[in-house]
């Protein structure tokens, strides 16, 4: 059963954009600040290239989606099939498990 959300689809989309846009603007803002005082170094995320973050994030997302799809498409149906075979079989040993 699908859980109904109290928020509309537009509200969820705006929240998602804000969740992604605010850190992105912060990183870009720190990259654009030119420090004339050499004693104060830039923050650690100011030295990180944005394309590196996006590349590693997409690789991590691909790995996560691949693992989830393998689990949902192969592991769960096999487990359900084994359970069904155990239930339909007349072997009392299998029903005790």
Show me where the domains of the chain are located. Answer: 7-48, 50-97
The reported pLDDT for the residue numbered 71 is 92
The reported pLDDT for the residue numbered 67 is 92
pTM of the model: 0.42
Distance between terminal CA atoms of the chain?
A: 28
Share of the chain above pLDDT 70, in %: 67
- Find out whether 6 and 22 touch, Cβ atoms under 8 Å: no
Which residues of the chain fall below pLDDT 70?
1-5, 30-48, 90-97
Residues 6+ apart with CB under 8 A from 82: none
Cα–Cα dist 6/9, whole Å: 10
The reported pLDDT for the residue numbered 68 is 92
């Amino acid at each position: 059963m699908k859980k109904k959300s109290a928020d509309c689809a537009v509200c969820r989309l705006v929240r998602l954009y804000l969740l992604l846009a605010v850190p992105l603007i912060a990183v870009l803002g720190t990259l654009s600040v030119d420090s004339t005082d050499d004693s104060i170094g830039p923050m650690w995320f100011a030295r990180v290239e944005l394309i590196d973050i996006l590349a590693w994030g997409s690789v991590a997302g691909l790995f996560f989606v691949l693992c989830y799809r393998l689990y949902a498409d192969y592991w769960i149906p096999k487990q359900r099939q084994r359970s069904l075979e155990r239930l339909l079989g007349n072997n009392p040993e299998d029903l005790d498990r």
